[in-house]
A and B are shown apart, each in its own frame.
Chain A
């Protein structure tokens, strides 16, 4: 709907520009935005790609343009550490992404069922997303604390003798971080699903129930298929952030214990900014591969959403 009016307006004003008027003031108006955007967004975008083909080490400034061809990529694809980190990233995505989808969809369906209190529900659901990420993750660290954290105090109350040290054990650290990540990001998908559900016409359900379809069948054959575009949009929005996750590792685990939360995002961050001679070039090449993989995933999701229609 909006795009339609936009194009109408755009063609409407194009007629005007066919008269040879070229409003130079327009360039003045866009100049501040364009200059800022070029300098702090477009340049890093280009430079980041170039950097991936260099052996730039921050502590040696003269290596800034030391191009080394595909060496970084050869190295990273053969690196055991990168492979291990890739496995952790994939595991993490498999924990977080499906859970966000399911939890958001269920919450949205519930909210769509009620007539009162929807604005409170929507507000609450989005609250975690606006909190500063560091606050949210640190809050979960408090929750997971071995002795006086909410979770373990509760478990002890139930009679569990020695509840796990959630963030400190290899088996539990990654899921524990993942759960806090789910809590933080599920709000926006919920709102998107809610919009998607509201946009499905009531008539479809009425017709279906006249035909004797149960509520479950209605959900399976009407709601789910019609929410496919929304699902794709949600995936496109969350997959890059989850697969490239860095924040909780910086805030909570530093990749530990024993590398069990060492994701690609965290590994490349350490390579660039923490370890040794700060190999920005090599880190950029890892980052480039990560973003190409996510771009590929996004393209696949996009194609899936366009299928059969």
Chain B
């Protein structure tokens, strides 16, 4: 992206007005009105999340009396206490989500790195045609795709199986292959050629030289895979109805709709202390927490993956 122009060169625009001094220049440069409007936009975007966050720290009295206040008057952890003690299926769903996300990430990085390297650097008959077919097939609409997938998973006895879901999501490979191929293409050929002259095998060149140079592309593939799988609803919802195999992004709906009476049956000592809506808020945040964390920590890679992908396609 044009980061350089955005942040690197602020003096270009203001050269003529340097005399006017600090604040005025700053205002001109930053377009105060645009900032003000952006603050409003960002507030609207963040409002649901902020409200959820504040609700999750309210006890029953606070939530029912002041449901719309964004700053809780006192912090209460009762919702989180309830969530961790009473909802037995939550850790199961969470573990499943992690297993699924890590499994898919591993498969995608592995398959896409190998295939991307082959498409970028190896010569074999049909290479370009196969690659083109993969790219084109991505744009063919999947009429009846979900129904056919259901039949297939059922036929393979992979419905209701986390392992089956790993294979299924692991097969979403066109974009990862594309990203990896692009990364390998951008490595100067001379590096590999000199290694070949030194007598390294094809595999050694891939493993020792090319792959380490494509680390950033692998990180991009991994983050996109992890977040994509963690967030899926439709496919998981369709394929899995056994509780022990469910992911958090689908299971969360079950947990929330289970109702206050059944929920408090497990923890009678918390009865009356919390609002079920506020407990729901805590659980919603909890189930999205891993992706929010990854998104916050790896934002650079995300933006790279998103914008580069967009420009290249």
Contacts and interface: CB of A to CB of B under 8 A. Distances in A.
Nearest to B5: A198
A48 B147 contact: yes
Contact of B115 (A34, A110, A149): A34
> Which secondary structure dominates chain B's binding surface?
helix
A36 B171 contact: yes
Q: How large is the interface on A (under 10, 10 to 19, 20 to 34, 35 or more residues)?
A: 35 or more
A256 interface: no
Contacts of A56: 151
Interface string B240-255: 0000000011101100
B287 interface: yes
B149 interface: yes
B68 A27 contact: no
Taking each of B45, B115, B312, which has the highest tally of chain A beta carbons within 10 Å of its own beta carbon? B45
Contacts, number: 290
Interface stretch (A115-123, A167-175, A217-225): A115-123
B123 A133 contact: no
Contacts of A116: 7, 30
A145 B277 contact: yes
B6 to A, nearest CB: 5
Contacts of B208: none
Interface string B102-118: 00000100111011011
Nearest to B295: A130
Contact of B310 (A48, A118, A192): A192
Interface stretch (A15-23, A74-82, A84-92, A94-102): A15-23
Contact of A135 (B115, B145, B288): B288
B147 A195 contact: no
Contact of A114 (B34, B68, B110, B306): B34
B48 A126 contact: no
Contacts of A131: 231, 288, 291-292
A221 B246 CA distance: 52
A70 interface: no
A208 interface: no
Contacts of B151: 47, 51, 56, 58, 64, 280
Contacts of A115: 6-7, 10, 29-30
Interface string A253-296: 00000000000000001001100000010011101111110110
A45 B6 contact: no
A10 B6 CA distance: 34
Interface of B: 1-2, 5-7, 10, 29-31, 34-35, 37-38, 41-42, 45-49, 51-52, 55, 63-64, 67-68, 107, 110-112, 114-115, 117-125, 127-128, 130, 134, 137, 140-152, 167-168, 170-174, 177, 182, 185, 202-203, 206, 227, 230-234, 237-238, 248-250, 252-253, 256, 275, 277, 280-281, 284, 287-288, 291-292, 295, 299, 302-303, 306-307, 310-312
Interface of A: 2-3, 5-6, 9-10, 13, 16-17, 21-27, 29-30, 32-34, 36-37, 39-49, 51-52, 56, 58, 64, 106-107, 110-111, 113-119, 121-128, 130-135, 138-140, 142-143, 145, 148-150, 153-154, 157, 183, 188, 191-192, 195, 198-199, 233, 240, 246-247, 250-251, 269, 272-273, 280, 283-285, 287-292, 294-295
Given A36-B171, A58-B151, A287-B143, 20 more contacts: A13-B121, A24-B124, A29-B114, A29-B115, A29-B206, A33-B173, A36-B173, A39-B152, A44-B144, A113-B31, A125-B45, A128-B45, A133-B233, A135-B284, A149-B67, A153-B68, A192-B310, A273-B150, A287-B147, A290-B143
